[in-house]
Amino acid sequence: MSAESTPRREVVTGEPRRVRPLPRYRAQSEIDEQTALGGAYVRSLMRSQLRAGLTAFAGLALAAGTLPLVFEALHSNAVVWAVLGFATYPPLTLAGWWYVRRAERNERDFARLVEGRPAP
Amino acid sequence: MNAPGHPASVVAVALVVLATVLVGGFGLRISRTTSDFYVASRTVRPRLNAAAISGEYLSAASFLGIAGLVLVHGPDMLWYPVGYTAGYLLLLIFVAAPLRRSGAYTLPDFAEGRLESRQVRRLVSVFVVGAGWLYLVPQLQGAGLTLRILTGAPGWLGDVLVASVVVLAVAAGGMRSITFVQVFQYWLKLTALLVPAIFLVLAWQGDGQPRVSFDEQASAFRADHPLYATYGLIVATFLGTMGLPHVVVRFYTSPNGRDARRTTVAVLALVGLFYLLPPVYGALGRLYAPELIHGGDADAAVLLLPARVIGGLGGDLLGALVAGGAFAAFLSTASGLTMAVAGVITQDVLPSRGVRHFRVATVLAIAVPLAGSLLVSRVPVADAVGMAFAVSASSFCPLLVLGIWWRRLTPPGAIAGLLLGGGSALLSVAITVSGAVRPPGWPHALLAWPAVWSVPVGFLAMILVSLATPGRIPPGTNAAMTRFHLPEALTSGRGR
């Protein structure tokens, strides 16, 4: 916790919230009104996100599924120590970082699709 | 047991307790609205929130339990910290952002919002309270053990002390204050293990680096089916984290789904960093406190080592630092859990809502596990926590994963999965704790590490019963899916 997290007290006024602004893009209104086309948009985003998640999950499951067998076969405490004590944590964080980048890219691509902008 | 009963340790514990109450009180000043109280008005940024989640998560099991298990059973026990960390990767890839975007306050809120069923909500509430209580008992018992070793005080005193401080801190400030308490306690816990560890390793090098041996005959076997137990542990910890009530509730404090994801990655790094330390204590404990291998209180290894290895005033002061960190561990996890359990009790058990009722619920939320901790005999803390993970993995994990990614989930399916998966895990844990089935043999192994079979049972029951009741798919399913998965920028025009 640092000093900068103590906020100065000041009055903040936001811009007035409209109850239901008109959708800016055609695709967004399709999604908002839950038409078949809008549903298809959402499904495509879910599929790409699920694919990213399952890729990371497959890697993790493969490692966690085989490591106990490998340890059993090697019968070496030094290896167990080195792998479980130290070596697993960096790959776990890196896998998380990779997933976040993929997921945010999927969302950016989706926003571009909805707003009708061309891919860069 | 020769205790490091130096007054410095008592002072350190007192300081941690005082700081927790004071930081909580500071939160009270800025905790004005109900939204502040429950979810810190959803404004906690990723780095602050990640430290808070980590501070809340690193419990007595992490601080004392892992070193104790490694000391007694050898390096295979390192699957515990790996599982506690990897659970956040699964939470990240399947749950974090959609859960935040669901806009619900608690797991029962999520269940009701997704499935539009009061019945499912009530059942989820029961499991949240059950898993929370299961997780609270070892925290309180760890506090009792620590205080007994430090001061020779009777075992119940630590339990009661932690329970009282938690009631004060939680009932007073709510989530806003807890956020600051947790952040403070993450860094305190890291320091309290890191600094003594550096001195311990230096002392070990001064001794000529004696080899730590984990040869087979010295390692007490913990299970007659060690490979099965290892897989049971992996499944429970990997899949259980995402449903732990005190972890889940913290995700609602993120401003949006993207920040919830980034928060989780930071948690992975912070938690992983912490877990590099307990194994050091386990290995050195094997060397310098070998009597603990057969003596029972192996959870005390972390507390005893500084005085044992370094000695003198330095050893006492480092011991005091460790004791303070241990108390931070009990207090942070216990307050987070109490907060989550009390939230559920307020909304689903007590008649009317409001902050005053929340305070009544807080007392209720901690009184039951306190009674449990005083009545039930001690199980090693990491094992006891492992059981809470198994229950969470078999009930909340199927509900969250299927609820977020599968459109055909129905309320009857969810109920079947919760009852068959979570119920059977809960029952196995109860039978194991009661001691009705004892090792050796498969019956004991299957009941003590239920996750290997109870998680598939939970998923299968949820899927099969949902497929059998296609007419009961909630009408709002498509809208819910859209809300869970669309970035906030694209849904901001619509009601939340």
B455-483 per-position pLDDT tens digit = 999 999 999 999 999 999 999 899 899 99
Cβ contact B266:B79 at 8 Å: no
Lowest mean pLDDT among B68-82, B381-395, B480-494: B480-494
Task: Please write the tens of the pLDDT for every residue from A79-112.
Answer: 888 899 999 999 999 999 999 999 999 999 988 8
- Closest residue of chain A to B267, computed from CA coordinates: A93
What is the SS3 string spanning B277-291? CHHHHHHHHHHHCCC
Cβ contact B345:B126 at 8 Å: no
DSSP type of residue B476: T
- Which of B:226-265 have CB within 8 Å of A? 227, 230-231, 234, 238, 258, 261-262, 264-265
Per-residue pLDDT at B266 exceeds 90: yes
**CB pairs below 8 Å between A and B: how many?**
125
Q: How far apart are CA B81 and CA B63, in angstroms?
A: 10
Q: How far apart are CA B427 and CA B306, in angstroms?
A: 40
Average pLDDT on B125-139 reads 90
Task: Answer yes or no: do A31 and B486 touch at CB < 8 A.
Answer: yes
Instruction: Quote the minimal CA–CA distance from B465 to chain A in Å.
Output: 23
Give the mutation candidate from B89, B227, B234 for the A interface (greatest A CB count, under 10 A): B89
A77 interfaces chain B, CB cutoff of 8 Å: yes
DSSP type of residue B300: G
- Closest residue of chain B to A81, computed from CA coordinates: B75
Distances from the Cα of A97 to the Cα of A34, A102, B327, B460, angstroms: 33, 9, 32, 31
Q: What is the pLDDT of residue B471?
A: 92
B44 interfaces chain A, CB cutoff of 8 Å: no
Q: How far apart are CA B235 and CA B449, in angstroms?
A: 9
Cα B356 to the center of its chain, rounded Å: 26
Task: Please write the tens of the pLDDT for every residue from A13-45.
Answer: 666 555 555 556 667 777 777 777 878 888 999
Of residues A56, A71, A84, nearest to B89 (C-beta): A56
Of residues A5, A32, A60, nearest to B89 (C-beta): A60
Task: Answer yes or no: do A99 and B493 touch at CB < 8 A.
Answer: no
Per-residue pLDDT at B285 exceeds 80: yes
Instruction: Quote the minimal CA–CA distance from A53 to chain B in Å.
Output: 5
Per-residue pLDDT at B2 exceeds 60: no
Structure tokens of B55?
A: 């501070």
Distances from the Cα of B292 to the Cα of B142, B220, B299, angstroms: 16, 12, 9
Q: What is the pLDDT of residue A18?
A: 53
Mean pLDDT of chain B: 84
Q: How far apart are CA B284 and CA B287, in angstroms?
A: 5
Q: What is the pLDDT of residue B484?
A: 92
Task: Answer yes or no: do A46 and B481 touch at CB < 8 A.
Answer: yes
Residues of chain A contacting B265 with CB distance shorter than 8 Å = 93, 96-97, 100
Per-residue pLDDT at B63 exceeds 70: yes
- Closest residue of chain B to A102, computed from CA coordinates: B93
Q: What is the pTM of this model?
A: 0.87
Q: What is the DSSP string of B50-92?
A: HHHHHHHH--HIIIIIHHHHHHHH-GGGGHHHHHHHHHHHHHH
Higher pLDDT, A11 or B483: B483
Of residues B75, B276, B485, nearest to A81 (C-beta): B75
DSSP type of residue B474: -
Residues of chain A contacting B75 with CB distance shorter than 8 Å = 77, 80-81, 84-85
DSSP type of residue B298: G
Lowest mean pLDDT among A34-38, B312-316, B451-455: A34-38
Which residue bears the tokens 């669901």?
B102
Of residues A38, A49, A84, nearest to B82 (C-beta): A84
Cβ contact B200:B349 at 8 Å: no
Average pLDDT on B131-137 reads 89
Average pLDDT on B114-136 reads 92
Cβ contact B265:A96 at 8 Å: yes
The highest-confidence range among A74-78, B61-65, B271-275, B492-496, by mean pLDDT, is B271-275
Task: Answer yes or no: do B276 and A85 touch at CB < 8 A.
Answer: yes
Residues of chain B contacting A38 with CB distance shorter than 8 Å = 482
Cβ contact B345:B180 at 8 Å: no
Structure tokens of B440?
A: 């050796």
| Assigned fold of B7-380 | Sodium/glucose cotransporter (1.20.1730)
The radius of gyration of chain A's CA atoms, rounded to the nearest angstrom, is 23
φ, ψ dihedrals at B380, nearest 5°? -50, 135
Task: Answer yes or no: do B487 and A85 touch at CB < 8 A.
Answer: no
Distances from the Cα of B346 to the Cα of B38, B42, B126, angstroms: 11, 20, 13
Per-residue pLDDT at A52 exceeds 60: yes
Q: How big, in percent rounded to 5, are the helix, strand and coil portions of chain B?
A: 80, 0, 20
- Closest residue of chain B to A86, computed from CA coordinates: B276
B275 interfaces chain A, CB cutoff of 8 Å: yes
Q: Is the ipTM here above 0.95?
A: no
Lowest mean pLDDT among A15-29, B133-147, B306-320: A15-29
- Which of B:418-457 have CB within 8 Å of A? none
A86 interfaces chain B, CB cutoff of 8 Å: yes
Q: What is the pLDDT of residue B34?
A: 56
A94 interfaces chain B, CB cutoff of 8 Å: no
pLDDT category of residue B219 using cuts at 50, 70 and 90: very low
Average pLDDT on B206-231 reads 71
A72 interfaces chain B, CB cutoff of 8 Å: yes
Per-residue pLDDT at B495 exceeds 50: no
Which residues fall within 8 angstroms of residue B440, CB to CB, at 6 or more apart? B224
- Closest residue of chain B to A82, computed from CA coordinates: B75
Give the mutation candidate from A49, A55, A70, A83 for the B interface (greatest B CB count, under 10 A): A49
Average pLDDT on B349-374 reads 80
Average pLDDT on B112-124 reads 93
Task: Answer yes or no: do A89 and B85 touch at CB < 8 A.
Answer: yes
Per-residue pLDDT at B54 exceeds 60: yes
Q: Express as a percent the part of chain B with pLDDT over 90.
A: 34
Per-residue pLDDT at B129 exceeds 70: yes
- Closest residue of chain A to B94, computed from CA coordinates: A53
Provide the residue ranges of all domains of chain A, joining segments of one domain with +: 24-115
Per-residue pLDDT at B277 exceeds 90: yes
Q: What is the pLDDT of residue B430?
A: 85
* B438: region left, alpha or beta (phi > 0 left; psi from -120 to 50 alpha): beta
Of residues B276, B478, B486, nearest to A34 (C-beta): B478
Q: What is the pLDDT of residue B310?
A: 84
| CA within 13 Å, CB half, B260 | 31
pLDDT category of residue B126 using cuts at 50, 70 and 90: very high
Helices (H) and strands (E) in chain A, counts: 4, 0
Of residues A71, A89, A97, nearest to B275 (C-beta): A89
Distances from the Cα of B286 to the Cα of A49, A76, A86, B68, B217, angstroms: 46, 17, 19, 9, 14
Cα angle B127, B131, B134; round to 5: 140
pLDDT category of residue B74 using cuts at 50, 70 and 90: confident
Task: Answer yes or no: do A1 and B180 touch at CB < 8 A.
Answer: yes
Q: Which residues of B419-433 are buried (b: 16+ CB within 10 A; e: fewer)?
A: bbbbbbbbebbebbb
Q: What is the pLDDT of residue A62?
A: 96
pLDDT category of residue B16 using cuts at 50, 70 and 90: confident
The highest-confidence range among A2-11, B287-296, B316-325, by mean pLDDT, is B316-325
How many C-beta atoms lie closer than 10 Å to residue B373's C-beta?
A: 26
Structure tokens of B450?
A: 């239920």
